């Protein structure tokens, strides 16, 4: 054997070495691939174009639909449910054509009964031979799928809630393009969600409105939080304007950057109307629609604050309708309400545009007048108001003439305090009333002193009865034909230990306002009845004592019973007393008043109307009510002119027709007495005969004149 026959050729040795090296590298690559497959949690399948399983690699065999040995040689259609097998085969075909296929998801039932989701990624396997095989990577996405389903379920629920909400909800991106909206927003725009999504406000609304919405979106993004606004929008559903309260907030992307705007709008049209109604009720008078006391006080404080900062003067007026109660009582409350409305309109027409006219309550109005250069300007405005009120009012088809009284206080001249200004204007207004009504007065310091005196009088008057400071004076009534004294009128006087004799004109209004008049009236009636009993005890001719009863006495319960008790207590007979009332009591036209007067008449009292002709005289009550005597007011007697003479004649004629007696008050001259006697007046009282004198003096007059005659030459005052 030769050497060449004992050893291989060198080329052969090299070939074997390379082969061995290739095998080692292939083995190494295979081990590496198997290591990768073992490292990943996914399942790797090798299948042919028919979906037949050729190889399976996995470290989690529990994720296989069957054991590995049972899968090999079987097809996808044999292993999976038909619908899931179809999805898998579609992925295999796509990979066979295009080389790869991603994102197909299938649901697989595992041997343990569990169902899991897998995502397929398929790629054509590189191969030198002509046979085509595919590698399918199956990743378990069950948890992700469950999370997506949970998110989707929540999203569906959220969308359902959004669709049922009455509020309008929408989302836009940063360019203003709609991403979603609910049914309420569809109704607003008149378009479906499909028509809204992808559009902007410029596609849905007019240009100006769309520009406003766009600016609001940008403001919400810049604010970085909730932005609230109110906007009027025309609804495409019914064509009506609706007020929307809109809340906008930026929508943030996962990275924290702004991705869009979420908007929620609520229809607050009815709420706004309710708010306005509540505001109207809280700050405006429901009858006249003028500001009420609360709003007046608020604006008064604002006016003073503004006047302080600008160095201006300002005025406060208080206006009271004269004799409003008479209109209310005679014509009814609805007519009274109409008068208040017309008065409010006239006040508004009398002032400047920036002045405030308010109704404080009842028939009391107030006006705030800022920026006044001088008091004369307020006087002109007040005079303008009085002129407006001098025009006729048409109430319930009747012409009625009503006046008003105006009080004025000036800032800062009278006070810098809001409450004081109102108080001072009120004082000035009452001064205007006491000065004859239908005029205006400015506040002065004297009015404050007068108010303080009034408070003192009230306090002292409450103790005057128990202190014995009150007394009755009596003014005789005489027959004009003979001069015989037939009676007298009891008049209340107050002798104060410090202030001396206080005239009735000072304390009677206080008693009326405070209600003390009822208690005083009881005292006066008792004293007068006692005097009447004394006058008539030993007299053949009756001497009648006249007593005034106030309206408030008639309004107090048990008046008739109280009078009957006083008669029993004093031993006085009713025919010795004449009850004098004012016309205002009759103008109430109430059945209770008629019933009370009729009852007093049936008891034997005579009824007289005091100061006849000075009130709102109505002839019908002279026939309806049991009236015995008319007392002509002194203003008709003392003022000698042709018109007053004719009025007196008319009153005398009416009284004769109705069978009523007439007493003339305030007769001071023989000429007046002669005129009255010539025209048929029966009796009179006045300074021509005597002033009102104390009880002892009226008794002396009777003793001095046994026949009862009271000659003018013997009168006690000249």
State whether 369 and 487 are in the same domain.
no
Task: Mention every residue, 6+ apart, whose C-beta is less than 8 A from residue 58.
Answer: 37, 42, 43, 44, 64, 68
Is the predicted pLDDT of residue 375 greater than 70, yes or no?
no
State whether 494 and 624 are in the same domain.
yes
DSSP readout, 366-378? EEEEEEESSHHHH
Question: Is 36 inside a domain boundary?
Answer: yes
Write out pLDDT tens, residues 407-427: 999 999 899 999 999 999 999
Instruction: Using the 3D structure, point to which of 219, 248, 272 is the last residue of a domain.
Output: 272
Is the predicted pLDDT of residue 228 greater than 50, yes or no?
yes
Number of domains in the chain: 4
State whether 293 and 258 are in the same domain.
no
pLDDT of 703 reads: 67
State whether 431 and 473 are in the same domain.
no
Q: Give the pairing of strands 313-321 and 404-411.
A: antiparallel
State whether 605 and 489 are in the same domain.
yes
Write out pLDDT tens, residues 116-174: 999 999 998 876 565 678 999 999 888 888 877 876 776 777 777 777 778 888 899 99
Question: Is 279 inside a domain boundary?
Answer: no
| Residue 109 contacts residue 115 (beta carbons within 8 Å) | yes
How many Å apart are CA 170 and CA 247, to the nearest integer?
11
Q: Is 439 exposed, middle or buried (0-12, 13-18, 19+ CB in 10 A)?
A: middle
Q: Specify the length of the chain in residues.
A: 718
| Distance, first Cα to last Cα, the chain | 195
b/e burial code for range 376-390 (CB count within 10 A of at least 16 → b) = eebeebbeebbebbe
With pLDDT > 90 as the criterion, what percentage of the chain qualifies? 38
pLDDT of 363 reads: 92
CATH number of residue 104's parent domain: 3.30.450.20
Is the predicted pLDDT of residue 707 greater than 50, yes or no?
no
How many Å apart are CA 646 and CA 694, to the nearest integer?
35
Task: Tell me the two tokens of residue 52.
Answer: 């037949």
CA neighbor of 665 nearest in space, from 705, 633, 696:
633
- Binning pLDDT at 50, 70 and 90, where does residue 1 land? very low
How many Å apart are CA 715 and CA 718, to the nearest integer?
7
pLDDT of 3 reads: 46
| Residue 240 contacts residue 234 (beta carbons within 8 Å) | yes
How many Å apart are CA 689 and CA 645, to the nearest integer?
21
Among the residue ranges 1-5, 648-652, 656-660, the one predicted with the least confidence is 1-5
State whether 129 and 246 are in the same domain.
no
Handedness of CA 707, 713, 716, 717 (dihedral sign): positive
State whether 410 and 553 are in the same domain.
no
Question: Is 717 inside a domain boundary?
Answer: no
Region for residue 392 given its phi and psi (left: phi exceeds 0; alpha: psi -120 to 50; beta: otherwise): beta
| Residue 459 contacts residue 426 (beta carbons within 8 Å) | no
State whether 498 and 425 are in the same domain.
no
Q: Give the largest Cα separation in the chain, rounded.
A: 205
User: CA torsion 368→374→376→382, rounded to 10°?
Assistant: 0
Question: Is 6 inside a domain boundary?
Answer: no
- Binning pLDDT at 50, 70 and 90, where does residue 276 land? confident
499: domain range?
455-711
Write out pLDDT tens, residues 377-386: 788 888 889 9
DSSP readout, 20-35? HHHHHHHHHHHHHHHH
- Binning pLDDT at 50, 70 and 90, where does residue 633 land? confident
* Strand blocks (E) in 253-403: 258-267, 313-321, 356-361, 364-372, 393-395, 398-400
DSSP collapsed to 3 states, 157-183: HHHHHHHHCCCEEEEEECCCCEEEECH
Compute the average pLDDT of residues 686-704: 86
| Residue 494 contacts residue 461 (beta carbons within 8 Å) | yes
Q: Helix 670-678 vs helix 642-658: angle between axes, to the nearest 10 degrees?
A: 40
- Angle value at C-alpha 16, between 10 and 20, nearest 5 degrees: 145
Is the predicted pLDDT of residue 43 greater than 50, yes or no?
yes
* Cross-strand pairs, 488: 476, 545
Question: Is 382 inside a domain boundary?
Answer: yes
Q: How many CA atoms lie within 13 A of 692 on its CB side?
A: 15
- Binning pLDDT at 50, 70 and 90, where does residue 8 land? low
| Residue 227 contacts residue 216 (beta carbons within 8 Å) | yes
Instruction: Using the 3D structure, point to which of 411, 443, 475 is the last residue of a domain.
Output: 443
Q: Helix 504-514 vs helix 445-467: angle between axes, to the nearest 10 degrees?
A: 80
Compute the average pLDDT of residues 92-118: 89
State whether 669 and 543 are in the same domain.
yes
Residue with token string 């010539």:
678
Residue with token string 């393009």:
177
- Binning pLDDT at 50, 70 and 90, where does residue 713 land? very low
Cβ atoms within 10 Å of 80's Cβ, excluding its own:
20
* DSSP code at position 476: E
| Residue 64 contacts residue 76 (beta carbons within 8 Å) | no
| Residue 461 contacts residue 499 (beta carbons within 8 Å) | no
CA neighbor of 409 nearest in space, from 313, 534, 310, 531:
313
Region for residue 680 given its phi and psi (left: phi exceeds 0; alpha: psi -120 to 50; beta: otherwise): left
pLDDT of 708 reads: 47
- Binning pLDDT at 50, 70 and 90, where does residue 718 land? very low
Segment holding 631, helix H or strand E: strand 629-632
CATH number of residue 570's parent domain: 3.20.20.450
State whether 77 and 184 are in the same domain.
no
Across the chain, mean pLDDT equals 85
Is the predicted pLDDT of residue 35 greater than 60, yes or no?
yes
pLDDT of 60 reads: 86
pLDDT of 617 reads: 55
Is the predicted pLDDT of residue 530 greater than 80, yes or no?
yes
Write out pLDDT tens, residues 447-498: 556 666 777 888 899 888 889 999 999 999 999 988 889 999 999 999 999 9
Instruction: Using the 3D structure, point to which of 272, 299, 319 is the last residue of a domain.
Output: 272
Question: Is 149 inside a domain boundary?
Answer: no
How many Å apart are CA 169 and CA 506, to the nearest integer?
74
pLDDT of 13 reads: 64
Compute the average pLDDT of residues 332-349: 93
Q: Give the pairing of strands 683-684 and 661-664.
A: parallel
Region for residue 506 given its phi and psi (left: phi exceeds 0; alpha: psi -120 to 50; beta: otherwise): alpha
Write out pLDDT tens, residues 430-450: 888 887 888 888 887 665 566
State whether 691 and 600 are in the same domain.
yes
Question: Is 485 inside a domain boundary?
Answer: yes
Cβ atoms within 10 Å of 609's Cβ, excluding its own:
24
Write out pLDDT tens, residues 280-327: 777 899 999 999 999 999 999 999 999 999 888 899 999 999 988 888
Is the predicted pLDDT of residue 396 greater than 60, yes or no?
yes
Write out pLDDT tens, residues 621-632: 777 788 899 998
Task: Mention every residue, 6+ apart, whose C-beta is less than 8 A from residue 506.
Answer: 457
Q: Which long-range contacts (CB under 8 A, 24 or more apart) does 706-714 make?
A: 707/484, 708/484, 708/485, 708/486, 708/541, 709/482, 709/483, 709/484, 709/485, 710/476, 710/478, 710/483, 710/484, 710/485, 711/483, 712/483, 712/670, 712/673, 712/688
- Binning pLDDT at 50, 70 and 90, where does residue 618 land? low
Cβ atoms within 10 Å of 99's Cβ, excluding its own:
11
State whether 405 and 547 are in the same domain.
no
pLDDT of 364 reads: 94
Question: Is 660 inside a domain boundary?
Answer: yes
């Amino acid at each position: 054997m030769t050497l060449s026959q004992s050893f291989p050729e060198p080329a052969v040795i090299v070939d074997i070495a390379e082969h061995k090296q290739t095998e080692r590298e292939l083995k190494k690559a295979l081990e590496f691939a198997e290591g990768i497959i073992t490292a990943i949690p996914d399942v790797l399948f090798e299948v042919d174009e028919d979906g037949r399983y050729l190889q399976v690699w996995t470290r989690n065999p529990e994720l296989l639909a069957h054991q590995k040995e049972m899968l090999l040689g079987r097809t996808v259609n044999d292993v999976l449910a038909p619908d899931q097998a179809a999805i898998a085969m579609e992925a295999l075909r796509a990979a066979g054509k295009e080389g790869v296929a991603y994102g197909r998801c299938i649901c697989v039932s595992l041997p343990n009964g569990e169902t899991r989701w897998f995502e397929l990624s398929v790629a054509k396997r590189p191969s030198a031979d002509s046979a085509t095989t595919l590698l399918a990577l199956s990743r378990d996405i069950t948890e992700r799928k469950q999370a997506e389903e949970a998110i989707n379920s929540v999203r569906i629920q959220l969308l359902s809630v959004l669709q049922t909400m009455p509020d309008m909800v929408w989302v836009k991106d940063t360019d203003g393009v709609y991403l979603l909206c609910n049914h309420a927003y569809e109704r607003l725009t008149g378009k479906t969600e499909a028509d809204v999504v992808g559009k902007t406000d410029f596609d849905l609304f007019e240009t100006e409105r769309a520009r406003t919405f766009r600016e609001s979106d940008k403001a919400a993004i810049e604010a970085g939080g909730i932005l609230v606004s109110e906007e009027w929008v025309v609804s495409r559903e019914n064509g009506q304007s609706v007020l929307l309260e809109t809340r906008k907030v930026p929508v943030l992307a996962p990275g924290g950057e702004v991705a869009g705007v979420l908007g929620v709008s609520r229809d607050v049209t009815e709420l706004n109307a309710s708010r306005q109604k509540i505001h109207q009720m809280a700050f405006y008078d429901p009858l006249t629609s003028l500001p009420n006391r609360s709003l007046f006080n608020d604006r008064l404080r604002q006016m003073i604050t503004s006047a302080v900062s600008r160095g201006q003067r300002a005025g406060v007026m208080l206006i009271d309708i004269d004799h409003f109660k008479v209109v209310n009582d005679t014509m009814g409350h609805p007519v009274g309400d109409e008068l208040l409305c017309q008065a409010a309109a006239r006040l508004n027409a009398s002032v400047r545009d920036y002045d405030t006219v308010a109704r404080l309550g009842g028939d009391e109005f107030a006006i705030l007048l800022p920026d006044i250069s001088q008091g004369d300007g307020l006087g002109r405005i007040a005079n303008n108001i009085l002129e407006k009120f001098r025009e006729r009012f048409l109430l319930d088809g009747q012409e009625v003439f009503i006046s008003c009284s105006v009080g004025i206080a000036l800032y800062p001249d009278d006070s810098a305090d809001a409450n004081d200004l109102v108080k001072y204007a009120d004082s000035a207004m009452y001064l205007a009333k006491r000065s004859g009504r239908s005029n205006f007065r400015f506040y002065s310091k004297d009015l404050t002193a007068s108010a303080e005196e009034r408070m003192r009088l009230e306090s002292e008057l409450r103790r005057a009865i128990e202190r014995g400071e009150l007394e009755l004076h009596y003014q005789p009534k005489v027959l004009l034909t003979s001069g015989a004294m037939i009676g007298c009128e009891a008049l209340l006087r107050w002798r104060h230990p410090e202030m001396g004799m206080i005239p009735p004109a000072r304390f009677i209004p206080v008693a009326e306002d405070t209600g003390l008049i009822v208690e005083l009236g009881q005292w006066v009636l008792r004293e007068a009845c006692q005097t009447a009993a004394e006058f008539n005890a030993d007299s053949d001719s009756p001497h009648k004592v006249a007593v005034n009863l106030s309206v408030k006495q008639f309004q107090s319960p048990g008046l008739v019973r109280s009078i009957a008790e006083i008669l029993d207590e004093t031993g006085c007979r009713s025919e010795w007393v004449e009850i004098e009332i004012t016309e205002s009591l009759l103008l109430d036209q109430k059945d209770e008043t008629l019933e009370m007067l009729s009852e007093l008449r049936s008891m034997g009292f005579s009824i007289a109307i005091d100061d006849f002709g000075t009130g709102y005289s109505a002839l019908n009550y002279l026939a309806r009510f049991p009236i015995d005597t008319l007392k002509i007011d002194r203003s008709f007697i003392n003022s000698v002119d042709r018109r007053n003479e004719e009025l007196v004649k008319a009153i005398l004629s009416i009284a004769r027709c109705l069978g009523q007696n007439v007493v003339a008050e305030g007769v001071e001259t023989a000429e007046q007495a002669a005129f009255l006697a010539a025209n048929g007046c029966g009796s009179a009282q006045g300074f021509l005969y005597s002033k009102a004198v104390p009880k002892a003096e009226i008794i002396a007059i009777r003793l001095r004149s046994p026949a009862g005659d009271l000659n003018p030459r013997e009168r006690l005052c000249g």
